[in-house]
A = this chain, B = another copy of it.
């Protein structure tokens, strides 16, 4: 069966080691058409190609030349981690280079040359002993590792390592991997526990290098990298960085009861914990990761999958503290959540991790990039008021061409370029489909072709293309949001059982066998646990995996006096003309004209302007998918809609 499978991407960000305890292995997927193909085409042909010019304009590449001594001038940029913008772009471009040369996503002609040019810039900036960080080399006079709390030196190394692993996996070239290993070896020579003989016992204020080091171990087989990652992960939470939750230093992961502090830092650290639990026999670390995932999703996750409740310190906030307009929900946190959840899915085999991945992919993550691939959101609020005064800057509620702190755009690029990695898995029993896309799924033993217009339509037609003669199990994830589904398989129809999220079809398959999964996409009104104070008395519109929102542009007169009527049915309207083609949900609502309350907006309950006797003018509400908001004009938006 070489033809089909060799045309599929055979690689991705996570490759399990030989001693891995993972329940599942990533399977190869090729996306042909449909929803994600369009998003990935923007990524391949707009976002990634624009990267080098943007990195040049922002000075990131200039800094590398300065460090190499091949240019003169001043360091550009305000942060010690500006190199990571380059590394994340390189990782994205590397995954792109792995795409089939004859498909829609074929890399642009000059991409390989651009990657080569920028890899050479990175290599040129590296110091003879392996150290590489242009900020410290150029601005801080080479004073290495003096400011671990804020310096981001190991964080930068982590992104370099991830880019190098991707470059090696995608192209076979060892050029960037050599740079990364040299830096990793340098770090390994410097950092270690007391008694190790290493000069520094310390950790970076921003976890990232840990998951990268595990992957470097997986790529090279060099056990030292795994051990170094394990050492770092366990040094968090002991006050070495001052003891603040912000830096993941308040409590060790093994003892923590909920996620806390800076969301991206927490999530990258947890991705590393999942990696370590996968590659070692560390049941305690696995239990901690499972406990924290459950606590996070139960108490600290926005409906969109977005994470992080505070702008201040980019913090998770308290349990059930999930504001709408001040939701932080950094695009990078959505990406980190997907990375962590995928590692948990592989480790445990449980479908709920891919439930969260689906929700995040279609909503909290995808909102971070405009439909045209040219503009970005750093934060992803669930509400923007009529007449919102936007302060501008990185944390604007307006899409922005690039950021002063440009962490999110290349992070989106690398996830979209490696998306096929997160969609399916295999184990000795067969193939598991985690996410439904139009294309091919391939394990070591079988190839399945999928036709679907998901998430707009709920029918997924799967055809066995290649199969062994022996029986094996095709496992379909029945999404957590789905209340009704049906599977037709030959003459048989199933509506269950669903075990821990999986519908498992074990049989002897023949090429040409068809399985048709129909997921009911009835639009629904969703309410939140009542402890989520921010959305009391509100509902959200959802359909399939998509969270919907109202935009001001569709509702002349604004959104802030609108009430949704939950007793009237929701209607579905396919709109190929709108936002690149979306299915809208139409709801009945009314617009309340509020009396002038004088100068004080609070009144005894019986005099309240909100008392129920007030009528309202009927208004048709048009909800669009949240991921597509702010692609027409800047304006108001609401996910949660008052019901009275």
Q: Which residue of B lies closest to A524 (CB)?
A: B604
Of B324, B534, B592, the residue contacting A530 (CB under 8 A) is: B592
Give residues 506-525 of A contacting B (CB, 8 Å).
524-525
Docked-complex contact A605 and B527, CB < 8 angstroms:
yes
List, in ascending order, chain B residues with CB within 8 A of A566's CB: 605
The answer to the question of A486 belonging to the interface, with a C-beta cut-off of 8 Å to chain B, is no
The verdict on A244 contacting chain B, using a C-beta distance below 8 Å, is yes
- Asked whether, in the complex, the Cβ of B385 is within 8 Å of the Cβ of A319, the reply is yes
Residue count of chain A within 8 Å CB distance of chain B:
69
With a cutoff of 8 Å between Cβ atoms, the chain B residues found around residue A352 in the complex are: 599
Question: Shortest CB–CB separation between residue A190 and chain B, in angstroms?
Answer: 31
Q: Which of B245, B294, B533, B539 lies in contact with A534, CB distance below 8 A?
A: B533
Query: Are B389 and A294 in contact, CB atoms less than 8 angstroms apart?
Result: no
- Residues of B near A385 (CB, < 8 A) are 318-321
Q: Are B539 and A605 in contact (CB under 8 A)?
A: yes
CB of B323 within 8 A of CB of A560, answer no
Q: Which residues of B are found within 8 Å of A592, using beta-carbon distances?
A: 530
Q: Does A112 count as interface, using CB distance less than 8 angstroms? A: no
Question: Taking the complex as formed, is A113 at the interface, i.e. its CB lies under 8 A from any CB of chain B?
Answer: no
* Known contacts A319-B387, A534-B534; is-contact A526 B603 (Cβ 8 Å): yes
Known A311-B310, A312-B312, A323-B323; contact A602-B388, beta-carbon cutoff 8 A: no
Check A594 against B530 for contact (C-beta < 8 Å): yes
With A352-B599, A600-B298, A601-B298 known as contacts, the answer to whether A537 contacts B536 (CB < 8 A) is yes
A609: chain B residues within 8 A (beta carbon): 529-530
B326:A531 contact, CB within 8 angstroms: no
- Once bound together, how far apart are the Cα atoms of A183 and B554, in whole Å? 57
Asked if B389 and A601 make an inter-chain contact with CB atoms under 8 angstroms apart, the answer reads no
Known A-B contacts A318-B387, A389-B245; A610 and B530 likewise in contact (beta carbons under 8 Å): yes
Taking CB atoms and an 8 Å cut-off, the chain A residues in 321-351 that contact chain B are 321, 323-326
Q: Which of A606-622 contact B (CB under 8 A)?
A: 608-610
> Given known contacts A318-B325, A536-B538, is B599 in contact with A294 (CB within 8 Å)?
yes
Tell me, in angstroms, the Cα distance from A310 to B379 when the chains sit together. Answer: 15
Do residues B298 and A525 form an inter-chain contact, with CB atoms below 8 A? no
Note all chain B residues with C-beta closer than 8 A to A532: 601
Q: How far is the CB of A350 from chain B (nearest CB, A)?
A: 10
Q: Please name all residues of chain B whose beta carbon is closer than 8 Å to the beta carbon of A228 when the two chains form the complex.
A: none
Confirm or deny: A108 has a beta carbon within 8 angstroms of a beta carbon on chain B: no
From 551 to 601 in chain A, residues with beta carbon under 8 angstroms from any chain B beta carbon are: 560-561, 566, 592, 594, 597-601
**What's the nearest-Cβ distance from chain B to residue A611, in Å?**
8
Residues of chain B within 8 A of A527, CB atoms compared: 602-605, 608, 610
Determine whether A391 belongs to the interface, using a CB cutoff of 8 Å to chain B. Answer: yes
**Contact: B601 with A536, CB < 8 Å?**
no
Give complex CA distance A245, B388 in Å.
13
Instruction: Report the Cα distance A344→B355, complex, angstroms.
Output: 57
Check: A260 CB closer than 8 A to any chain B CB.
yes
A297 within 8 A of B: yes
- Residue of B with least CB distance to A529: B601
Say yes or no for A192: interface residue by CB 8 A criterion.
no
> Would you call B529 and A597 a contact (CB within 8 A)?
yes
A594 touches B313 (CB 8 A): no
Cα A299 to Cα B388 with chains together (Å): 13
Most buried by B among A260, A311, A321, A600: A600
Return the 3 tightest CB-CB contacts between A and B, nearest first: A529-B601, A527-B608, A537-B537
A-side residues, CB < 8 A to B, are 244-246, 260, 293-294, 297-299, 301, 303, 310-313, 315, 318-321, 323-326, 352, 355, 383, 385, 387-389, 391, 395, 480, 483, 524-534, 536-540, 560-561, 566, 592, 594, 597-605, 608-610, 642
Known: A298-B601, A531-B561. 5 other contacts (CB 8 A): A244-B391, A318-B325, A480-B600, A525-B605, A529-B601
